[in-house]
Amino acid sequence: MRLSDFDYPLPEELIAQFPAAERTASRLLHVDGAHLADRMFAELPEFLRPGDVLVFNDTRVIKARLYGQKPTGGQVEVLVERILNDHDALAFVRASKTPKPGSRIVIGDSVEFEMLARQGDLFRLRCHGGDSLLEVLERHGRLPLPPYIAHAPETLDEARYQTVYASQPGAVAAPTAGLHFDEAMLARLDALGVTRATVTLHVGAGTFQPVRVENIAEHRMHSERFFIPEATVAAIREARETGGRILAVGTTSLRALESAARDGELQAGEGDTNLFITPGYRFRVVERLLTNFHLPKSTLLMLVSAFGGHDHLRAAYAHAVAARYRFFSYGDAMLIENAPAA
């Protein structure tokens, strides 16, 4: 397929710049093949039944953007892509001249980053100064809001650009489908008899990188780290035996599950994934997907088109634009039933 097959017109005013007043106050577009239904996210429990499994990504967004200086005084911007250990990270670095191995970046009064090596578009940096990398980011970093959100991070963003169940620090972008859930909604799901399970996939900045080739088969996905607990594998196995359905909360949960089942059977454990899901992909684990609306020509739009059917998703997005849904990270949600062959 071609990149142009995944384009659509989007008025700029439909890109949500701030979250809804309440997490569950968003709209919900239900996509079941050619059938579309305009609902509210607060009605989500009506689509579920006891024994269903909802799989959440419990990653936590870190304050991954840092501003510093070279020893010579030149300004440097660092965006951490992945934490490797207590002191090392892979990061994008923006400076007037490309840093060389051994060069230093000064953050604040007492923190130095040393550039160890270049790895493609990324730089391996080591944090010196005694504190762990996570502590340095928490103290000096800024929340890395997506490029389509125009305002600088505010106190509201630090709370709302984070799921209420986030527990594993390491993401540089939020798993945005989960932003719609509050504690009251989670309690409603528990009372309904729905099983909640988790995976961890640390979303990287590569999720915002554009596809630069017209033939999408030539695109190479960025790699992200994921972990599947044994308890999640057991919950999914039990649901399959008892007629429960598997709903992935977000494309990141879906990619983690499908990556862990590439050999045919879902396996617990951890690894890296660069799984690129496009129309024609056969889904092994996930039957239903809760997601936000995605950017034109993006790999995530390709994924949801593979899941719900390319023509169905084109029609759903056209409907959402006409119905003035709110788009992207702080926007509204979709519940998509698996119909890849349509």
- Enumerate the domain spans of the chain: 3-61+156-337, 65-140
pLDDT of residue 341: 58
pLDDT below 50 — which residues of the chain? 342
pLDDT of residue 109: 78
β-strand 195-201 against 53-57: which pairing, if any? parallel
Other CB atoms within 10 Å distance of the CB of residue 282: 8
Residues in the chain: 342
At residue 235, φ and ψ (nearest 5 deg) are -65, -40
> Would you call 126 helix, strand, or coil by DSSP?
strand
Q: Can 3-61+156-337 and 65-140 be said to share one CATH topology? A: no
Q: How far is CA 266 from the centre of its chain?
A: 21
The CATH code belonging to domain 3-61+156-337 is: 3.40.1780.10
Q: Please check whether residue 209 is in contact with residue 222, taking contact to mean a CB–CB distance below 8 angstroms.
A: yes
pLDDT of residue 304: 98
**What are the C-alpha distances in Å from 142 to residues 59, 155, 213?**
17, 11, 32
pLDDT of residue 340: 66
Other CB atoms within 10 Å distance of the CB of residue 223: 14
Residue keyed to tokens 């454990």: 269
CATH 2.40.10.240 is the classification of domain 65-140:
yes
pLDDT of residue 320: 98
Q: Please check whether residue 330 is in contact with residue 26, taking contact to mean a CB–CB distance below 8 angstroms.
A: no
At residue 32, φ and ψ (nearest 5 deg) are -125, 90
pLDDT tens digit string along 184-224?
999 999 999 999 999 999 998 777 778 999 999 999 888 89
